[in-house]
A = this chain, B = another copy of it.
Amino acid sequence: MLDDRKLAVLRAIVEDYVSTNEPVGSRSLVDKHNLDVSPATIRNDMAVLEEQGYIVQPHTSAGRIPTDKGYRLFVDRLSGIKPFTRAERRAIETFLNGAYDLDDVVMRTVRLLAQLTRQVAVVQYPSLSKSSIRHVELVPLNESRLLLVLITDTGRVEQRVVELPGSVDEDSIMQLRAVLNACLDGRKLTDVATIVAELPARVEPRERANAAAVFSVILETLVARHEEKIVVGGASNLTPADFSRGLREVLEALEEQVVLMRLLGEFDDQSAVTVKIGAENDVSGLRSTSVVAAGYGSGDRPLAKLGVVGPTRMDYPTAMGAVRAVARYTGQILAES
């Protein structure tokens, strides 16, 4: 269907267009890449490529630019992931190693990814549903209010204020704390729901009302607030020129946690780098962008996802390389702590 030269032509078109942002014509193609055939031959190839939907010309008698389908073929068969040099890897590693807590790790990861790719970076916090509880803490605020603090093994700390139906004293708090830690410590968050259901039996009857309030907040935190946390950075890398409909709608989408969750949700958990091009993202507002994302985790356990968002006219090999490298090192850092 498409012989080797036609593929080479497509690859050349993508590369040139990505770097120049201008439709590429047959002549400049044979010049820059040393294809040893004439422009006319290339034109014939391009005619075929266009017919098959891999490229289009924005105006009659202008050069060609790749379509989503063209980029897709490019990513799947014509380009690899650009590996990083040893020096670059080292730089990434030392930069991430400077972080001192989870927030800082995530912040640095976002900045790093944005800078490496010159695109918008998107990093999801380690998913709550994949973490285990490391500690539960109850801090009295006043007679009828507690602060509940959940600490997970991935370093996330979730807090919620609990409004108690009655008042409590220090003793009952101690007792409740003990029960909670005894039963929840080290348990997967996904299991917590069922465990909590059995807990009321383990507290004294007269404490049950207050305990129930605490339990329900725990459940809410894990279920209702199941929406995960996502951080965005590098928005200034968006250039108005790349988005015909204005980058407003892109900015809007990037500000909506929910939208971003949907976006990343469409990528699978695996650590492999995956690319979604243009309309393949069925998230309104980002249909004219491409997303390169990967899962990251400590060791073999997938924790969450990260990636970059940019115009379809994107340097995919480099972006994929950066996402892979950053995912790997961020995972490593988290494994250590």
A binding-site residues for B, Cβ under 8 Å: 100-103, 134-135, 137, 139, 141, 145, 147, 149, 151, 155, 157, 159-161, 233-236, 238-240, 246-249, 251-252, 255, 337
Contacts and interface: CB of A to CB of B under 8 A. Distances in A.
Contacts of A151: 139, 147, 149, 159
Nearest to A285: B236
B337 A141 contact: yes
A149 B160 contact: no
Contacts of A238: 251
B160 A157 contact: no
Given A141-B134, A149-B149, A151-B147, A159 B255 contact: no
30 contacts: A100-B161, A101-B159, A101-B160, A101-B161, A102-B159, A134-B139, A134-B141, A134-B147, A137-B137, A137-B139, A139-B151, A141-B337, A145-B337, A147-B151, A147-B155, A149-B149, A149-B151, A149-B157, A155-B159, A157-B157, A157-B159, A161-B337, A235-B235, A235-B255, A236-B248, A236-B249, A236-B251, A236-B255, A240-B240, A240-B246
Number of copies: 2
A183 B239 CA distance: 53
A313 to B, nearest CB: 18
Contacts of A155: 147, 159, 161
Give the dominant DSSP class at A's interface: mixed
A160 B105 CA distance: 12
B135 A139 contact: yes
A157 B148 CA distance: 11
Nearest to A246: B240
A252 B145 CA distance: 41
Contacts of A157: 149, 157, 159
A137 B137 CA distance: 8
Contacts of A251: 235-236, 238
Contacts of A236: 248-249, 251-252, 255
Contacts of A337: 141, 145, 161
Nearest to A107: B257
Contacts of A100: 160-161
